[in-house]
């Protein structure tokens, strides 16, 4: 019996992938450890991300209409499959808590200094919970509405920032050691690109039509390329506006857009960053939240995932607030630890799964 009757189209997958990957990263410049070459690192990371996508979409093509949790049990057997699925669910649970924490720190730090963080985070979780209860179709439609707004705002901000840019700020391009550059690129391919592994839960709702499933793979790829392009626009804009000071900013995009001044009328565009971050972050959080709730229900073989939504939401609120004491712990964890934790989940296990599928000739025809 199906837990979720929703159906989404390959076109919606593009929207979902872009919003989902942009969600947690609109605030900051990505891959700043690569110095002035961070846009190159992003392109290399995109290539890595596409490989990861190629890997996991071959799993979804093998098992059309089945989610990660369902085919893990087919591949690894009921017990081991459940353990592996739980690891994934833990990852899916952890990622939105990081984004939520970023939300909380950003909004309490810069915009609402007096408001308790728990209130901000709870409100976002409440909205997300409502989206999750309504199912994947609603999340997909939200992204169809919110993503165009975000992209228009991003482009406008980029156009308005051109007069404030200095060409000299982009050079010299390559100053970091190659090993460090490769490390940063690898980390970029796990985050934000590689986190699209979460779509193994979503691609099941494309249906079992093999043509559509193959199209979904292309959709994921297109989405990731879109993310890479938008991300490059973002980091180049920030670099052109801020120059060397971008290395000391906490919220790079926020500071960069604060400098924009169009004829003394249109000033302080940082609110654009807040709007974009809120809307895209909402999609990213909802999607992973949905994954966690749905996956948990599938592991426990429940008939509906709805009763799990609110308890998981409360756990997410608690975790996001209590897991880090300060900003540095957060930065250290999300920057240095998460990619290492994500690598086996994004590359190791999918490869293993594919090998086992080949050997055991799965899925067996019924």
Partner 1 sequence: MKIFFLLAIFSGIVIFEAPGLIYRKYWKELIVFFLFLGFAFTISLLAVLGVPLPSPAKGIETVVNFIIKLITGK
Partner 2 sequence: MEHRRKLFITLVLAITLLGSSCWDRRELDDLAIATAVGIDQAEDPNKLLMTVEIILPQNVSTPGGGGGQGPASLNIQSQGTTPFEAAKRLTFESDKRIYFAHNPVLIFSEEMAKKGILPAFDFFIRDPEPRRTAWMLVAEGKAQDLINVQTILDPITGLYIEQLIESTGAASQIATLMVQGFLERLMSPTTAPYCSIIRIKGKENNKSMELSGTAIFKKDKMVGKFDYKEGRGLLWVLGEVESGIITVPCEKEGNIGLEIIRADAKITPAIIDNTLKVIINITEEGNLGEQECPIDLTAPEAWQSLERKQAEAIRQEVLAAVKKAQELNADVFGFGEAFHRKYKALWKEQLKNNWDEFFPDLEVEVLVEAKLRRTGTTTKPAVPE
Which span (137-145, 148-156, 240-248, 306-314) binds partner 2, by CB under 8 A?
Answer: 240-248
Please say which residue, 259 or 321, places its beta carbon nearer to partner 2. Answer: 259
- Residue 124 CB, nearest approach to partner 2 (Å): 13
Q: Does residue 65 bind partner 2 (CB under 8 A)?
A: no
| CA gyration radius, the chain | 20
Q: Which is nearest to 214 in space by CA: 48, 62, 72?
A: 62
Query: Which string of b and e fits 311-333 if b means at least 16 CB within 10 Å?
Result: ebbeebbebbbeebeeeeebeeb
Residue 261: its H or E element: strand 261-262
Q: Does residue 312 bind partner 1 (CB under 8 A)?
A: yes
- Residue 128 CB, nearest approach to partner 2 (Å): 14
Q: Does residue 300 bind partner 1 (CB under 8 A)?
A: yes
Number of residues that bind partner 2 (CB under 8 A): 26
CA angle 126, 197, 64 (to 5 degrees): 100
Q: Which residues on neighbouring strands pair with residue 266, listed in sequence order?
A: 262
The interface with partner 2 within residues 316-335 (CB under 8 A) comprises: none
Which span (21-29, 63-71, 198-206, 300-308) binds partner 1, by CB under 8 A?
Answer: 300-308
Which residue of 242, 293, 345, 347 would you call a contact of partner 2, by CB under 8 A? Answer: 242
Asked if 32 and 247 touch (Cβ cutoff 8 Å), the reply is: yes
- Residue 340 CB, nearest approach to partner 2 (Å): 30
Q: Does residue 177 bind partner 2 (CB under 8 A)?
A: no
Q: Which is nearest to 254 in space by CA: 276, 286, 222, 226?
A: 276
Q: Which residues on neighbouring strands pair with residue 262, listed in sequence order?
A: 266
Residues that bind partner 1 (CB under 8 A): 90, 94, 300, 302-304, 306-308, 310-312, 314-315, 317-319, 321-324, 329, 333, 337-338, 340-341
């Amino acid at each position: 019996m199906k837990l979720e009757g929703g159906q989404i189209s390959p076109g919606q997958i593009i929207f979902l992938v872009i919003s989902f990957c942009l969600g947690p990263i609109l605030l900051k410049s990505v891959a700043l450890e690569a110095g002035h070459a961070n846009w190159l690192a992003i392109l290399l990371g995109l290539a890595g991300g596409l490989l990861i996508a190629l890997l996991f979409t071959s799993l979804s093509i093998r098992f059309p209409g089945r989610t990660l949790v369902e085919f893990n049990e087919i591949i690894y057997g009921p017990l081991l499959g459940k353990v592996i699925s739980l690891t994934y669910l833990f990852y899916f649970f952890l990622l939105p808590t990081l984004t939520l924490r970023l939300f909380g720190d950003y909004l309490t730090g810069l915009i609402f200094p007096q408001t308790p963080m728990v209130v901000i985070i709870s409100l976002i979780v409440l909205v997300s919970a409502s989206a999750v209860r309504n199912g994947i179709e609603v999340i997909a439609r939200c992204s169809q509405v919110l993503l165009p707004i975000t992209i228009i705002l991003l482009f406008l901000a980029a156009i308005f920032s051109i007069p404030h840019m200095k060409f000299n700020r982009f050079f010299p391009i390559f100053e970091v050691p190659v090993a460090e550059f490769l490390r940063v690129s690898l980390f970029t391919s796990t985050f934000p690109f590689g986190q699209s592994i979460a779509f193994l839960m979503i691609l099941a709702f494309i249906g079992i039509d093999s043509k559509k499933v193959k199209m979904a793979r292309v959709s994921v790829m297109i989405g990731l390329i879109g993310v890479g392009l938008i991300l490059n626009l973002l980091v180049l804009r920030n670099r052109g506006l801020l120059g060397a000071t971008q290395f000391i900013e906490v919220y790079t995009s926020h500071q960069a857009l604060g400098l924009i001044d169009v004829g003394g009328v249109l000033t302080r565009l940082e609110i654009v960053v807040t709007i974009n971050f809120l809307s895209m972050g909402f999609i990213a959080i909802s999607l992973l939240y949905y994954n966690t709730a749905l996956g948990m229900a599938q592991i426990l073989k429940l008939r509906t995932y709805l009763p799990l939504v609110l308890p998981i939401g409360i756990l997410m609120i608690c975790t996001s607030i209590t897991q880090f004491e300060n900003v540095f712990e957060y930065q250290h964890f999300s920057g240095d630890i998460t990619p290492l934790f994500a690598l086996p989940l994004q590359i190791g296990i999918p490869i293993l799964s594919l090998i086992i599928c080949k050997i055991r000739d799965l899925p067996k025809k019924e």
